[in-house]
């Protein structure tokens, strides 16, 4: 949630900021899952239902990133940030 705004604040174009954020997410997620698995807090069988939809969403998002205008990309990202923020407050 912070990578895109920080990259944009640093002067990175919107599309490149989003693409960089996507590129950062995969290795961090793999490392994080490995640490949780090593500590016994993560069961791979629990992740299976989310792997294919997650991969499909990542590919779809990367393809859409090429086609959506920067202004709509910023608006969609803002809506997602607001939705996740509200979800965090409610839970």
Domain boundaries, given as residue ranges, for the chain = 3-90
- pLDDT above 80 for 1: no
DSSP, res 68: S
Give the C-alpha separation, 19 to 31, whole Å.
19
Look up the pTM and report it.
0.60
- pLDDT above 90 for 23: no
Give the C-alpha separation, 38 to 30, whole Å.
12
In terms of pLDDT, which residue wins out, 5 or 22? 5
Residues with Cβ < 8 Å from 12, sequence gap 6 or more? 20
> Residue range 50-74: average pLDDT?
86
Task: Give per-residue pLDDT as tens, 26-35.
Answer: 888 889 988 9
Angle at 37 between CA 80 and CA 20, to 5 degrees: 35
Give the C-alpha separation, 74 to 13, whole Å.
11
Task: Give per-residue pLDDT as tens, 78-91.
Answer: 898 899 899 999 98
């Amino acid at each position: 949630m912070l990578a895109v705004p920080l990259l944009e604040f640093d002067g990175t174009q919107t599309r490149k900021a989003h693409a960089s954020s996507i590129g950062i997410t995969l290795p961090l997620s793999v490392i994080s899952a490995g640490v949780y698995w090593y500590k016994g807090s993560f069961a791979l069988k629990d992740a299976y239902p989310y792997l294919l939809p997650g991969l499909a969403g990542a590919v779809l998002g990367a393809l859409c990133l090429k086609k959506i205008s920067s202004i709509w990309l910023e608006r969609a990202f803002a809506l997602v940030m607001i939705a996740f923020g509200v979800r965090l407050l409610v839970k």
